[in-house]
Amino acid sequence: MLRRETAASVDVAAAGGLIAAAMIAPGEKLGTDFKLTVVRGGVAREVGFAELLTQRTVVSVYMKNNTPSCDRQNAGLAEVAPELARAGFALVGLSRDTAGAQVRYAAKHKVAYVLASDPEDRFSKAAGAMVEKSMYGRSFVGPARAVYVLDGDGTVLAVAPKVDTADHAAQVRALVAGL
C-alpha cells in the first residue's frame, strides 16, 4: 500500500496546518517521490528521497540542531551508527534545519551519517506524521519526533512513534533487532 498525503490521511487543524490522522505503519509503503538536501561527508546536495534507500535505512526525525533534546537524539545516533553500518543499515538524521545548518552541525559534532534538510516536512507528510505541538504557549504543527526503518523500496519495516531522546541508541538497537 503506497502512502501519500491525502484527505484521508490528514485533518485540517484549528491552527491551519496538517495533523496526522494515522502515522504510517509497518507493511505500508512510503511515497518517496520528493527531494531533500542531504549532507554527507561535509557536502550538501539535493537528492530524491528514493536515492537514499540503497539498503535498509533508519530515518530518525528531530526538530532542530543545537537544542538539548535533539542533540541527545543525535548523540544516540552517533553511538549506534557503526553497529547499524555493520548490520547493513544506512542511517539518516532528518530535521527542518537548512542545508547550511546541517553542514555546520555535522562538522561541529563530527557526524558520520547522513543529515537531511527537510524544512517543508516532506518526509513527515509522506509518513502521515505531522502533529500539533506546543511551545511557550504557542501551538503549531510540526513533524513527530519518530524513528522509522525502511526497506530499499520504501516499505516500512518498523516505527517508533515517539523517540526516547535520553536513550535513543538503545531504542534504535531494539527496533532493528526485531527485524
**Please, which pLDDT band fits residue 119 given cuts at 50, 70 and 90?**
very high
- The residues that bridge with 58 in the sheet, in sequence order, are 91, 149
Give the tens place of pLDDT for each residue, 34-57.
999 999 999 999 999 999 999 999
With vertex at residue 5, the alpha carbon angle to CA 91 and CA 7, rounded to the nearest 5 degrees, is 155
Which sequence spans correspond to the domains of the chain? 2-177
Mean pLDDT within 71-98: 95
Q: Which fold has domain 2-177?
A: Glutaredoxin (3.40.30)
Angle at 35 between CA 29 and CA 36, to 5 degrees: 105
pTM (2 d.p.): 0.87
Query: Virtual CA dihedral for 60, 26, 126, 168, nearest 10 degrees?
Result: -10
pLDDT tens digit sequence for 73-84: 999 999 999 999
Q: Which of 140, 147, 144, 150 is nearest to 128 (CA)?
A: 144
Widest Cα–Cα separation across the chain: 45
> CA 39, CA 28: separation in Å to the nearest integer?
27
**How many Å apart are CA 20 and CA 129, to the nearest integer?**
5
Q: State the pLDDT at residue 21.
A: 56
Summarised one tens digit per residue, pLDDT across range 129-150 is 999 877 778 888 889 999 999 9
**Residues facing 156 on adjacent strands:** 150
User: Are 52 and 114 in contact, with CB atoms under 8 Å apart?
Assistant: yes
| Cα-Cα-Cα-Cα dihedral sign, residues 123, 30, 35, 160 | positive
